[in-house]
């Protein structure tokens, strides 16, 4: 790992720092009560997981989806407005206004996460960076890792998604791919990005995997989550609880005055 990164979250405390992390997934489109993560912290690791009866996220606005996620920032407009990060659907309105949180929001630098995952063909894990959308155009995504369970060859390889999604940022371009890598996702690996003004290089275990040439130019929050897609369930097949276990996440300090 890169030495002496100013932000270094080792999950050594038994609870998440509320000044850094929000243990909810895009709560403005539902509520904090309905978007709460299932997680625990033990052995200096954060474990995000999805029990079998975890509630659906935004069931009235989204196909069946369950999520346990934390994020290092949040922003929304008032109830009834369309101002909010990563809209659940076009025209979605805010159901619960959120007080702004600017926890960990760097702009450029080396960011890395050491993590492992347990997945099934109906689940996914991801770590991605997004803009706060305090200005509408600050909305792009820089995805560091995204792994679907149905793209995993257990113990052998996995397709690891990485790259950019512009959404409504006019200066960004779509540049996303999921190269297949020889790694066992149930073991700890380090997923990283060297994010610069001129390019972003994505790395796994210190090895460069792919590069994008257009990057967001504003502070970005981190989002870590495990997802379950009930529509992919096989009748009669027992449920296996997916999880994302994060040992450490590190990077530059939050940007100031941007």
pTM > 0.85: yes
pLDDT of residue 66: 97
Give the separation between CA 5 and CA 145, rounded to whole angstroms.
20
pLDDT category, 46, cuts 50, 70, 90? very high
CB atoms within 10 A of CB 5: 18
Compute the average pLDDT of residues 209-225.
98
Give the separation between CA 99 and CA 36, rounded to whole angstroms.
16
- Note the pLDDT tens digit of each residue in 50-83: 999 999 999 999 999 999 999 999 999 999 999 9
Compute the average pLDDT of residues 32-36.
96
Joined together, the tokens standing for residue 110 give 């080396």
Cβ proximity of 124 and 244 under 8 Å? no
Cβ proximity of 50 and 228 under 8 Å? yes
pLDDT category, 258, cuts 50, 70, 90? confident
pLDDT category, 3, cuts 50, 70, 90? low
Joined together, the tokens standing for residue 54 give 């975890």
Whether the per-residue pLDDT at 1 is higher than 50: the answer is no
Q: Check residues 2 and 170 and name the one with the higher pLDDT.
A: 170
Cα atoms found within 13 Å of the Cα of residue 215, Cβ hemisphere only: 25
pLDDT of residue 2: 53
Give the separation between CA 195 and CA 162, rounded to whole angstroms.
13
Which of 154, 166, 160 has its CA nearest to residue 214? Answer: 166
Domain boundaries, the chain: 25-236
* Average pLDDT value for the chain: 96
Fold (CATH) for 25-236: Jelly Rolls (2.60.120)
């Amino acid at each position: 790992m890169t030495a002496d990164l100013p932000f270094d979250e080792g999950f050594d405390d038994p609870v998440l720092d509320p000044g850094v992390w929000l243990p909810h997934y895009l709560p403005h489109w539902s509520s904090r009560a309905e978007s709460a993560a299932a997680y625990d912290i033990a052995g200096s690791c954060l474990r995000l997981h999805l029990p079998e009866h975890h509630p659906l996220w935004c069931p009235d606005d989204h196909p069946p989806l369950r999520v346990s996620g934390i994020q290092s920032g949040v922003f929304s407009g008032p109830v009834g407005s369309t101002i909010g990060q990563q809209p659940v659907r076009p025209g979605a309105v805010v159901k619960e206004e959120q007080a702004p949180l600017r926890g960990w929001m760097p702009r450029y630098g080396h960011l890395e996460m050491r993590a492992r995952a347990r997945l099934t063909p109906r689940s996914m894990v991801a770590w991605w960076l997004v803009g706060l959308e305090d200005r509408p155009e600050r909305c792009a995504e820089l995805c560091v890792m995204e792994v679907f369970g149905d793209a995993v060859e257990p113990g052998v390889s996995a397709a690891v998604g990485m790259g950019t999604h512009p959404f409504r940022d006019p200066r960004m371009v779509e540049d996303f791919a999921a190269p297949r890598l020889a790694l066992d996702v149930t073991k700890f690996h380090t997923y990283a990005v060297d994010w610069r003004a001129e390019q972003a290089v994505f790395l796994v275990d210190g090895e460069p995997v792919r590069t994008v040439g257009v990057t967001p130019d504003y502070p970005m929050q981190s989002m870590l989550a495990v997802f379950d897609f009930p529509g992919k369930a096989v009748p009669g097949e027992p449920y296996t609880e997916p999880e994302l276990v994060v040992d450490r996440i590190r990077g530059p300090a939050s940007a100031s005055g941007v």
